[in-house]
Amino acid sequence: MSALKHTLTAESQDFLDNLRLYLFSSGKKDEEVKEIVEELEDHLIEAEKRGKSVSHIIGHSPKAYMEQLSNEMSFDFKWISYLPIIVLGVFAYILLGDSMRGGVQFTLLQVVGYPAVCIILVLFYLKMFKFLASTKLSKTKTIITTFILGSLPILFFLALLFANDAYKTPVVIKLGATGNIIAALVAIAIFLGISLWSKTWFTIVIPTMLFLPEFLISLTSFEKETKAILTISVLFVTLIIYNVYTFKKAKKESRI
């Protein structure tokens, strides 16, 4: 199969990659996505052998063509079950952070706000992936968009943090010393659980990546402010690196 892929022009290959990403972020069934991409790949190979261009096959608007295909394909409801798991993962992340700093305490605004922010972000990301797959952006615009997408979660959570200070809502959950230790263990258990469930390493790798530096920095004898600045900078940099890395990986993996 790989020998044949070489005969495809970059334009055709790009179209297939983008189609896969588009259908994937539209929540279409994996099996159906695979089938149609394979079928179109075969078609494009045959057509290119005879010197036809991509636009001869898909018309002049790749976006319109992707939409046409998407409209005929079924939505995979398995997708909806991912949302609670993502919310749970973020919850574990916040829980671990707070318990490490010794103060698990949630206000009503946070209890409602965190899941809401997660769901908004996930839906927004899916929309953006669809948009990026069906629109041709210049290199600069792609980099800017990736950067904005990468920093968006931080902005959202910071906004929630400020809102929480500005609007006093009642404290719903507050844990003591033992409670904090238990909370940390619960959070770690959730990370391990999601990792086992999804058969991926990232819910173990990311928390380690994020919390290990903070934990190590907290052991140093720097000033409180220096520690805070160090922690935030390390966090920001790792998040951007990770986002760029996963975005590239997602595009690359969609070729397999």
List residues binding other proteins (CB under 8 A). Answer: 1, 3-4, 32, 35-36, 38-43, 45-47, 52, 55-59, 65, 68-69, 71-74
CB of 39 to other proteins, least distance (A): 5
CB 44 within 8 A of CB 16: yes
CB of 20 to other proteins, least distance (A): 14
167: helix, coil or strand? coil
**Per-residue tokens: 174:** 């507050």
- β-sheet bridge partners, residue 174: 105
CA dist 248 and 191 (Å) reads 24
Closest to other proteins by CB, 19 or 175: 19
CB of 1 to other proteins, least distance (A): 6
CB of 23 to other proteins, least distance (A): 11
Place of tokens 């010197």: 51
* Helix H or strand E segment including 216: helix 202-219
Closest to other proteins by CB, 30 or 42: 42
Residue 21: how many other CB atoms lie within 10 Å: 20
Q: Residue 157: name the closest of 203, 212, 103, 98 by CA.
A: 98
CB of 60 to other proteins, least distance (A): 8
Cα distances (Å, whole numbers) of residue 107 to 76, 161, 174, 181 = 35, 11, 9, 20
Closest to other proteins by CB, 74 or 218: 74
Residue 172: how many other CB atoms lie within 10 Å: 13
CA dist 68 and 57 (Å) reads 13
CA dist 197 and 209 (Å) reads 20
CB of 103 to other proteins, least distance (A): 54
Closest to other proteins by CB, 51 or 170: 51
Residue 197: how many other CB atoms lie within 10 Å: 10
CB of 17 to other proteins, least distance (A): 16
Closest to other proteins by CB, 56 or 78: 56
Closest to other proteins by CB, 43 or 251: 43
CB 15 within 8 A of CB 58: yes
Closest to other proteins by CB, 57 or 217: 57
